[in-house]
Amino acid sequence: MKRSGKQSAAPEEILIHEPFKAGLPNLPKYIKDIWLRREFASELSRATMRSQEASTFFGRMWLVINPLFLGSVYFVLVSIISNGAHGGADYMSHLLAGLFAYQFFSQSMMNGSKSVLGVGKLVINRSFPRLILPISSVLIAFYRFFPSIVVYFIFHLVTKQPISANQLYAIPAFLMIFVFSIGVAALLATVQVYFRDLKSFLPYLSRILLYATPVLYYADAIPENLKFMQYVNPLFGMFGAWGDSLVRGEVPATSLWISGLLWSVGTLLLGTFVFLSREREFAVRI
């Protein structure tokens, strides 16, 4: 009874497409798919960066020029506003460390929100886990962040800021910012598909968050009546831990870790949930 069909020697791949359960794809399989395409994610990020650099005169140098300019602009701004009270090297390191990390977050948010809409029909008509798109935007922001951290360290060493093993706490602190950024990028990428005007709001949102986060000022400078910002600003804990460890070589307070961890993991879960539950509609919405 058995048919003698043409069978290849290699085991046949079998793909089964079935309706999603509870509107979500099969998660273990989805995560495995992303892992299998990790090279694609990093190549997409690097290729995008290459294409952006290709049309500029300084090209790759911008990776270092940008953070230097950014730091100088805010340094001048804050020195004038504070009448020169904030001018020391310790303040400058606090400012640079905060700004560079914030730049990473803000770039992830901006580019992440465009990541699905921006690739257009062509990419949307390919079959791959789309979560790679916001992830790759965050990777681009990370590749840009990396040289800026080198710039920071040179400044840190030249101005003889404290060096201690506690600075290693900056790694998990940055990890929280990274995870949070992926969550935000996935969330905003989805929202942008439905509400295209989001992109006009984002620059303002980004600026408000910057001013609400102790980057331009020290956390203890927040007046009593604005202390609530510590609890409503997701970035407070993460950036607090980042600055305390990297700049001042202190062990960040437990409350900063808890708040940072809750916000970052919570946002990652929310962002990926919203993204995955809407992903199947992207092909017809774009």
Partner 1 sequence: MSSLSEFDDADQEDSTTPKLEKEKTQDSAIKVTNLSLTYRTTFTKNQTLRSALRDIRHKERNVHTVEALKDVSFEIPHGTVLGVIGQNGAGKSSLLRTLTGIMPPTAGRIEVHGRISTLLALGVAFNTELSGTENILLAGLASGMTREEVAAKRKEIIDFAEIGDFIDLPTKTYSSGMSQRLAFSVAVHMNPDILLIDEALSAGDAKFKAKAQEKMHELMKSARTLVLVSHGLNSILNLCNDAIWLDKGQIRMHADPKSVVDAYSEFVKVGKSTPAMLEDL
CA–CA dist 15, 2 (Å, integer)? 23
Residue 220 engages partner 1 in binding (rule: CB under 8 A): no
Region near partner 1 per CB under 8 A, out of 33-41, 241-249, 252-260, 265-273:
33-41
Smallest separation, CB 112 to partner 1 (Å): 17
Region near partner 1 per CB under 8 A, out of 52-60, 79-87, 180-188, 203-211:
52-60
Question: Pick from 32, 35, 50, 68: which binds partner 1 (CB under 8 A)?
Answer: 50
Residue 28 engages partner 1 in binding (rule: CB under 8 A): no
The runs of H, that is alpha helices, within 213-278 are 229-232, 235-246, 254-278
CA–CA dist 205, 112 (Å, integer)? 14
Residue 232 engages partner 1 in binding (rule: CB under 8 A): no
Q: At what angle do helices 254-278 and 170-194 cross, to 10 degrees?
A: 30
Residue 51 engages partner 1 in binding (rule: CB under 8 A): yes
Query: Which pair of tokens denotes residue 87?
Result: 């001018």
Residue 27 engages partner 1 in binding (rule: CB under 8 A): no
Q: Which is nearer to partner 1, 60 or 285 (CB)?
A: 285
Which of 267, 111, 71 shows the shortest CA–CA distance to 178? 267
Q: Which is nearer to partner 1, 4 or 83 (CB)?
A: 4
Question: In this structure, which amino acid lies at residue 77?
Answer: L
| Total site size for partner 1, rule CB under 8 A | 48
Give the Cα-Cα-Cα angle 43, 46, 52 (nearest 5 degrees). Answer: 135
Question: Pick from 197, 223, 226, 232: which binds partner 1 (CB under 8 A)?
Answer: 197
Question: Pick from 9, 22, 54, 80: which binds partner 1 (CB under 8 A)?
Answer: 54
Residue 29 engages partner 1 in binding (rule: CB under 8 A): no
Smallest separation, CB 28 to partner 1 (Å): 16
First to last CA, the chain: 49
Smallest separation, CB 91 to partner 1 (Å): 40
Residue 224 engages partner 1 in binding (rule: CB under 8 A): no
Region near partner 1 per CB under 8 A, out of 81-89, 91-99, 122-130, 219-227:
122-130
CA–CA dist 136, 41 (Å, integer)? 5
Q: What is the DSSP string of 121-175?
A: HHHHTS-S-TTHHHHHHHHHHHHHHHHHHHHHHHHHHHTT----GGGGGHHHHHH
Residue 15 engages partner 1 in binding (rule: CB under 8 A): yes
Question: Pick from 32, 60, 196, 207: which binds partner 1 (CB under 8 A)?
Answer: 196
CA–CA dist 124, 282 (Å, integer)? 7
CB within 8 Å of 285: residues ≥ 6 apart: 193, 194
Residue 281 engages partner 1 in binding (rule: CB under 8 A): yes
Enumerate binding residues for partner 1 (CB under 8 A): 1-3, 5-6, 8, 12-20, 25, 36-37, 39-40, 43-44, 47-48, 50-52, 54-55, 119, 121-128, 194-198, 280-281, 283-285
